[in-house]
Amino acid sequence: MEKHLLERLSALSEEERQLLEGGELIRSTYTQGSSFVVNGEKLLPPSQMITVRPHTRFVDFPLHSHDYVEILYMISGETVHEMPGQQPLVLHAGELLMMNGQAAHAIRRCSRKDVGVNFIVRPAFFDEALTAIGSSHALGRFLIDALKRGESSVPFLHFQVSDVPAVQSLLESMLSAILDGAGQRILKTSMTLLFLHLMAHTHQLSMPDRGASAMVVAVLDEIQHRYASISFQNLADSWHVSAAYLSQTVRRATGLSCTQHLQQRRIAQARRLLRDTDLSVAEICAAVGYANTGHFYHLFHESCGMSPKEYRLVNSGR
């Protein structure tokens, strides 16, 4: 990749500077609702159907979906993606990950050298590409799912094409064109060419395990929204499995147990309450679902490296 383009895409954003100074991800930058669905309207100018945005580093990006198609291209380093019902997916430099709107994933924290860019694309942008490549294969089905905006039969595609010069050159050209404000006609043609090249390399394509568990999705959603009062036993009973099997399934899919996911969610909420409210530590402990204050102190210190009171002193802007 040309040096000036790499420097431009790897430069620290203001958001990343704040994260490096101890800030947290500001969800309102990405979404308008309580569920974490990243809104294209937040990231795409009204007159555009495609743009690029460097992936935000220095923070664990929580489980989310999109109301657009996302194509993540790794320029250097790697990203690790956690998807419900799937083994963690490592995206290496030169590889592409295409995510349909209904697909959910979390992305582990990236370092400065892990530079990836998101092509953010309105589904209608792909109409010409679909006409050119047809629909009798995985890539075509992916585009059909994107256009119909229903439940996706092909939620993501992973192209391991770092060793394909034609694809790499085309991606670099597309990045330059988008950043320089190229017209829609040029970009649509470039996208169609990209898909035609990828069609010739389907042997370097991996797809989701269709055994992906709806149960895992349900557990993660329950943790997200009912972290203070969740009962894994009741949840397991509703799926007619044991609590142990439930946790094992979640661990296989995400790398973390149910309890670990719950602790992460509760501590994250506790941090928010410490920063943004005057509630006492005991009140916050109860609000996030812990009955034992000592246990809460232990978990908080283990996660944040300081006590709740110290965290409040350092981070409260009030």
Amino acid letter at 148? Answer: K
Cβ-based neighbours of 87, under 8 Å, separated by 6 or more: 209, 252, 253
Percent of the chain with pLDDT strictly greater than 90 = 54
For 263-277, write each residue's pLDDT tens digit. Answer: 989 999 999 899 889
Interval 166-211: pLDDT, tens: 999 999 999 999 999 888 889 999 999 999 999 888 778 887 654 4
Indicate if the pLDDT at residue 216 is higher than 80: no
Q: Kindly list the structural domains of the chain, giving each domain's residue range(s) and its CATH number in brackets, ordered by start.
A: 3-206 (2.60.120.280), 214-315 (1.10.10.60)
Task: Report pLDDT for 150.
Answer: 56
Residues 228-237: pLDDT tens digits? 999 999 988 8
pLDDT digits (tens, 9 = 90+) for 8-64: 999 999 999 999 999 999 999 999 877 789 998 899 888 889 999 999 999 999 999
Q: Answer yes or no: is pLDDT of 290 > 60.
A: yes
Q: Give the tokens for residue 261.
A: 């996911």
pLDDT band at residue 138 using 50, 70 and 90 as cut-offs: confident
How many whole angstroms separate alpha carbon 195 and alpha carbon 137? 12
The full DSSP string for 35-69 is: S-EE-HHHHS-TT-SEEEEEPP-SSPEEEEEESSE
**Distance from C-alpha of 212 to C-alpha of 204, rounded to nearest angstrom:** 21
Closest listed residue to residue 303, CA positions, set 279, 280, 278, 270: 270
3-state class (DSSP) for residue 86: coil
pTM over 0.75: no
A 10 A CB-CB count for 177 gives 16
Nearest to 65 by CA among 48, 84, 51: 84
Q: Which residue has the tokens 């993606």?
A: 81
Length of the chain: 318
